[in-house]
Amino acid sequence: MELLTHPWPWYTAGLIIGLIVPALLILGNKHFGISSNLRHICAACFPADIKFFKYDWKKEIWNFYFVGGIMLGGFIAAFYLNSGDPIQVNPKLVEELATYNITDFSQIVPVQLFNFESLFTLKGFIMMVVGGFLVGFGTRWAGGCTSGHAIMGLSNLQWPSLVATICFMIGGIIMANFILPYILNL
């Protein structure tokens, strides 16, 4: 149980993901990715009258266990790793975030940005609601999420995944360096 009392090295996740991708392909010709699970959930919950949900979602039941494991892992990590100590953040990042009045690192995400009260502010609405919508829209438009394209698609040498991953990176750089500072100053 000592493994659950402190954060693991950063490379552990890369190693695990690096083993999961070939295992999924070898054991069942399954593809790693998260975004398609929303479609599977909707197909399981809504009547088959909607054309987009008319397929055998039960063939993808393993995805529900996969997402459930991710959620369970998140809860376990939040419970066991949240000792009440402030999250360790690079001092240079702390300085930069202080210029945006973000100084509370007692939770996994900055409290000044991600809390229920800030949802009703312009900054919070843009970051949580508009940002969430854009992520969902972009995922459908790109035909998959970052994990599906950057991890699974690139490992299969798929050209569309390379293009999508390059676009994700360019979008992330533009967002982090140009748009986000403007939003944080609202």
Does the structure show a pLDDT above 70 at 86? Answer: no
In a domain, 96, yes or no: no
Structural domain tally of the chain?
Answer: 2
Report pLDDT digits (tens) over 33-63. Answer: 788 788 888 888 876 678 878 888 888 888 8
137 and 71 together in one domain: no
75 and 128 together in one domain: no
Can you give the pTM of this predicted structure? 0.74
How far is Cα 28 from Cα 168, in angstroms, rounded to an integer? Answer: 28
In a domain, 106, yes or no: no
64 and 124 together in one domain: no
67 and 127 together in one domain: no
How far is Cα 15 from Cα 90, in angstroms, rounded to an integer? Answer: 24
Report pLDDT digits (tens) over 89-120. Answer: 899 999 999 998 888 887 778 888 888 888 89
In a domain, 108, yes or no: no
How far is Cα 64 from Cα 39, in angstroms, rounded to an integer? Answer: 11
> On the CB side of 15, how many CA atoms lie within 13 Å of its CA?
5
In a domain, 120, yes or no: yes
77 and 123 together in one domain: no
Report pLDDT digits (tens) over 135-162. Answer: 888 888 888 888 888 888 888 889 999 9
Show the domain range for 23: 1-81
68 and 117 together in one domain: no
